[in-house]
C-alpha cells in the first residue's frame, strides 16, 4: 500500500510492505542475516570469508538488538529519482527482514532549495526527520543536529567519508561519488564539425561553432542547456571552477586567509573571468534565466541544445523521465589553458546519509544507516543509479554514457572537493557571497565584472576584520 502526505510542499511516500526476519544493530551483521535469508542454501561461511578479504569487518557474532521494536523512521531526501528507486527496490521490505515492525516513511522534496528551506525551519523547532540526506557543505551548517557516525561500519568501509569530517567527527556517509560531465550529442558535434575540446579555449570555440551552426535555424537553440533560473545549475562552473583552476579542492578555505581573494591574478578571478566571457557569447540561448533545470533537461532531450553540464544524477533523472540516451556521450569540462597542463578534475561525495539528534529511536536509525550501506541494500541500489560507489567492498562499472569521458581523458588529476569549513561558512554569512548566484548575476544585462570583484573584495576584507580571521 502506498500513502501520500504533504509536508511543507514535500510529498511523503510510505511503502507498507510486510516482511519477516531478524537482525541486529550492527550493519554488517544485518547484511549477513538478510543475505542469508534472501539466498537460502548459500554458504554463509564463504560470505564471511569474502568480507574479510575485502576489508569488511566480520561482525557475525555481534550482540543482537531488540528486533521486535515497533516504530516509524522518517527519511528525507530531495532526490526524486532516488526516492522512486527506494520504492522499486523495496527498501522498506528489505529492512523489515531485520526489523519487521519498523516502517520507513520517505519524505520526498522536489528540489534542493525547497528541501533545505524546510529543514532549516524544522531544525529550529527540533522537528528534523530521523534520517536525512545532506550535501557536503550543509553538514557543517547542521552539525549540532547530527549524530557522530565515526565508529559505524558504514564509515569504516567508505572510501571518502572521513575526508568530509566536521570538527573531527564523521557526520554523514556519502552514498555516491562523482565528477561532473559535459553531456553532448555526438551527431550534433559531427554535423557542426566540432571536436571534443581538451582546453578551455577549445570548449569556448566548440560552443560558438555549435551556436552558429544550429542557432540560425532554431531561435530557441542554446549550445549549452543550463536552467539558470534555478541558480544552482551554474555550479559546475561557478562552484567547481576555482578548485579546478587552482588544483586545490579546499580553495574556499584558502580564501578565508586572504583579504582580497577576488583580485586580478587570483585563481578565482581568472576562472570567473573565463566563465563570464563564455556567458557573453550567447551560447546559453536567448533566455537562460527564464529556463528552469527541468525545462533545460527537456530541451536537451529535444536537441534544442548540444551540451549540458551536470553530475551523474542528471543521467539518472534523464532515464527516469523516459528519454532515450542513444547518441549521447560525455567528456570532462576542461578548465586548463593548455593541453600540456594537468587536467584537474573535481570529484566529491554526494548524498550524505545522516542520523539526526531529533530521532526518538537513534539506535534503530543507525541500524538503518548500517543496513543502507551493507550488502543487503547498497550493491543493488548503487547499480541502479548512474553515480559511482563510495563503498570499498562494492565497486561498480559506470554507465557506458559516462565511461566515454574517462576513455577520452584517461589521465586526469582528481581534485577532492571540500565545500568549506566553519571560517568559510561564517564569511559567507557575513558577506552573503553565493557563487552560484554570482553566476546568475553574470547573465544579467549591465553586469560589470571588474566592479563586482572590487565590491566582493571590499566586503570580504571587512568581514575578515569583523570575524578576527588571520
Please state the three-class secondary structure of 110-135 as a single string: CCHHHHHHHHHHHHHCCCCCCEEEEC
Share of the chain above pLDDT 90, in %: 77
DSSP state of 164: G
| Residues 257-284, mean pLDDT to the nearest whole number | 97
pLDDT score for 55? 37
Q: Is the pLDDT of residue 20 over 50?
A: no
Phi, psi of 385 (to 5 degrees): -115, 170
CATH architecture, range 179-345+415-465: 3-Layer(aba) Sandwich (3.40)
Q: Is the pLDDT of residue 9 over 90?
A: no
Cα–Cα distance measured from residue 213 to residue 40, given in angstroms and rounded to the nearest whole number: 60
CB 208 within 8 A of CB 223: yes
Neighbouring C-beta atoms of residue 7, cutoff 10 Å: 16
The per-residue pLDDT for 391 is: 97
Whole-angstrom Cα distance, residue 94 to residue 97?
5
The set of cell numbers assigned to 210 is 555549435
Q: What is the pLDDT of residue 122?
A: 96
Beta strand 102-108 with 10-15: parallel, antiparallel or unpaired? antiparallel
* pLDDT band, residue 65 (cuts 50/70/90): low
Tell whether the model's pLDDT for residue 7 goes beyond 60.
no
pLDDT category of residue 5 using cuts at 50, 70 and 90: very low
- Whether residue 323 has pLDDT greater than 90: yes
Q: What is the pLDDT of residue 27?
A: 34
Question: How far apart are alpha carbons 157 and 175 in whole angstroms?
Answer: 12
Kindly tell me if the per-residue pLDDT of 175 is higher than 70. yes
Asked if pLDDT for residue 50 goes beyond 50, the answer is no
Average pLDDT score over residue span 337-356: 95
pLDDT digits (tens, 9 = 90+) for 390-419: 999 999 888 999 999 999 998 999 998 988
Give the pLDDT confidence score for residue 422 in this predicted structure: 84
Average pLDDT estimate for 82-108: 96
Q: What is the pLDDT of residue 420?
A: 85
Pairing mode of beta strands 131-134, 344-355: antiparallel
- pLDDT band with cut points at 50, 70 and 90 for residue 33: very low
C-alpha 44/C-alpha 50 separation (Å) is 10
Classified as helix, coil or strand, 177 is strand
Report angle CA 335, 336, 337 to the nearest 5 degrees: 120
The residue-averaged pLDDT of 219-239 equals: 95
The predicted pLDDT at position 13 comes to 33
Read off the pLDDT of residues 124-150 as tens digits, 9 standing for 90 and up. 999 999 999 999 889 988 999 999 999
> Which of the pair, 201 or 40, is modelled with greater confidence?
201
CA atoms within 13 A on the CB side of 199: 8
Q: How confident is the model at residue 57 (pLDDT cuts 50, 70, 90)?
A: very low
Instruction: Kindly give the interhelix angle for 27-38 and 44-53, rounded to the nearest 10 degrees.
Output: 140
pLDDT at 421: 82
Beta bridge partners of 94: none
Instruction: Give the model confidence (pLDDT) of 456-468 as tens digits.
Output: 999 999 999 999 9
Here the cell at position 320 is 527516469
Residue where the block lists cell 566515454: 404
**CA–CA distance, 39 with 50 (Å, rounded to integer):** 16
- For CATH 3.40.190.10, the residue range(s) in the chain are 69-174+348-396, 179-345+415-465
**Helix and strand counts by DSSP (H, E) for the chain:** 21, 12
3-class SS of residue 263: coil
Say if strands 173-179 and 181-185 run parallel, antiparallel, or are unpaired. unpaired
Rounded CA-CA distance 297/302 in Å is 9
Indicate the fold that domain 69-174+348-396 takes in CATH.
D-Maltodextrin-Binding Protein; domain 2 (3.40.190)
Q: What is the mean pLDDT of residues 16-28?
A: 31
- The predicted structure's pLDDT at residue 470: 82
pLDDT band at 272 (very low <50, low <70, confident <90, very high): very high
Q: What is the pLDDT of residue 120?
A: 95
Would you state the pLDDT for residue 113?
A: 86
Between CA 201 and CA 184 the distance in angstroms is 18
Q: Within 10 A of 316 (CB to CB), how many other CB atoms are there?
A: 22
pTM > 0.75: yes or no:
no
Q: Rounded distance, CA 375 to CA 358, Å? A: 28
Across 19-33, 126-140, 408-422, 443-457, least confident range = 19-33
Residue 461, SS3 per DSSP: helix
Q: Is the pLDDT of residue 431 over 70?
A: yes
Of 156, 165, 1, 179, residue with least CA distance to 92: 1
- Checking if the pLDDT of 278 tops 90, the result is yes
Lowest mean pLDDT segment, chosen from 5-19, 71-85, 258-272, 306-320: 5-19
223 by DSSP, 3-state: which? coil
Amino acid at each position: 500500500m502506498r500513502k501520500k502526505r504533504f509536508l511543507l510542499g514535500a510529498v511523503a511516500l510510505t511503502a507498507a510492505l510486510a516482511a519477516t526476519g531478524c537482525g541486529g544493530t550492527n550493519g554488517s551483521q544485518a547484511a549477513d542475516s538478510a543475505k542469508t535469508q534472501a539466498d537460502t542454501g548459500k554458504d554463509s561461511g564463504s560470505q564471511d570469508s569474502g568480507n574479510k578479504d575485502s576489508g569488511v569487518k566480520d561482525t557475525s557474532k555481534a550482540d543482537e538488538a531488540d528486533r521486535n521494536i515497533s516504530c516509524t523512521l522518517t527519511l528525507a531526501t530531495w532526490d526524486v529519482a532516488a526516492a522512486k528507486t527506494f520504492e522499486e527496490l523495496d527498501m522498506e521490505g528489505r529492512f523489515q527482514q531485520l526489523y519487521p515492525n519498523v516502517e520507513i516513511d520517505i519524505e520526498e522534496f522536489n528540489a534542493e532549495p525547497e528541501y533545505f528551506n524546510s529543514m532549516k525551519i524544522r531544525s529550529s523547532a527540533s522537528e528534523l526527520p530521523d534520517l536525512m540526506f545532506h550535501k557536503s557543505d550543509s553538514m557543517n551548517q547542521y552539525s549540532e543536529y547530527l549524530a557522530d557516525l565515526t565508529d559505524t561500519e558504514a564509515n569504516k568501509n567508505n572510501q571518502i567519508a572521513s575526508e568530509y569530517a566536521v570538527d573531527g567527527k564523521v557526520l554523514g556517509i556519502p552514498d555516491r561519488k562523482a565528477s561532473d560531465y559535459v553531456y553532448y550529442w555526438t551527431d550534433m558535434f559531427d554535423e557542426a564539425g566540432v571536436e571534443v575540446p581538451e582546453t578551455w579555449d577549445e570548449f569556448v570555440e566548440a560552443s560558438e561553432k555549435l551556436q552558429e551552426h544550429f542557432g540560425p535555424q532554431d531561435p530557441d537553440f542554446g549550445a549549452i542547456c543550463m536552467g539558470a533560473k534555478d541558480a544552482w545549475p551554474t555550479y559546475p562552473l561557478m562552484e567547481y571552477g576555482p578548485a579546478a583552476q587552482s588544483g586545490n579542492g579546499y580553495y574556499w578555505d584558502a580564501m578565508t586567509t586572504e583579504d582580497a581573494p577576488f583580485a586580478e591574478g587570483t585563481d578565482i578571478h581568472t576562472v570567473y573571468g573565463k566563465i563570464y566571457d563564455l556567458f557573453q557569447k550567447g551560447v546559453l540561448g536567448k533566455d537562460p534565466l527564464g529556463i528552469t533545470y527541468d525545462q533545460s533537461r527537456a530541451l536537451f532531450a529535444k536537441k534544442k541544445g548540444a551540451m549540458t553540464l551536470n553530475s551523474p544524477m542528471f543521467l539518472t533523472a534523464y532515464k527516469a523521465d523516459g528519454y532515450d540516451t542513444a547518441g549521447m556521450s560525455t567528456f570532462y569540462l576542461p578548465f586548463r589553458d593548455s593541453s600540456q597542463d594537468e587536467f584537474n578534475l573535481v570529484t566529491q561525495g554526494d548524498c550524505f546519509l545522516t542520523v539526526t539528534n531529533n530521532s526518538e529511536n537513534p539506535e534503530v536509525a543507525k541500524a538503518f544507516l548500517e543496513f543502507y550501506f551493507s550488502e543487503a541494500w547498497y550493491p543493488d541500489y548503487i547499480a541502479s543509479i548512474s553515480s559511482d560507489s563510495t563503498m570499498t567492498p562494492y565497486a561498480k562499472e559506470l554507465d557506458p554514457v559516462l565511461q566515454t569521458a574517462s576513455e577520452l581523458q584517461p589521465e586526469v588529476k582528481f581534485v577532492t572537493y571540500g565545500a568549506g569549513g566553519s571560517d568559510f561558512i561564517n564569511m559567507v554569512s557575513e558577506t552573503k557571497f553565493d557563487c552560484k548566484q554570482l553566476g546568475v548575476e553574470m547573465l544579467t544585462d549591465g553586469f560589470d565584472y571588474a566592479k563586482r570583484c572590487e565590491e566582493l573584495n571590499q566586503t570580504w576584507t571587512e568581514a575578515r576584520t569583523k570575524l578576527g580571521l588571520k
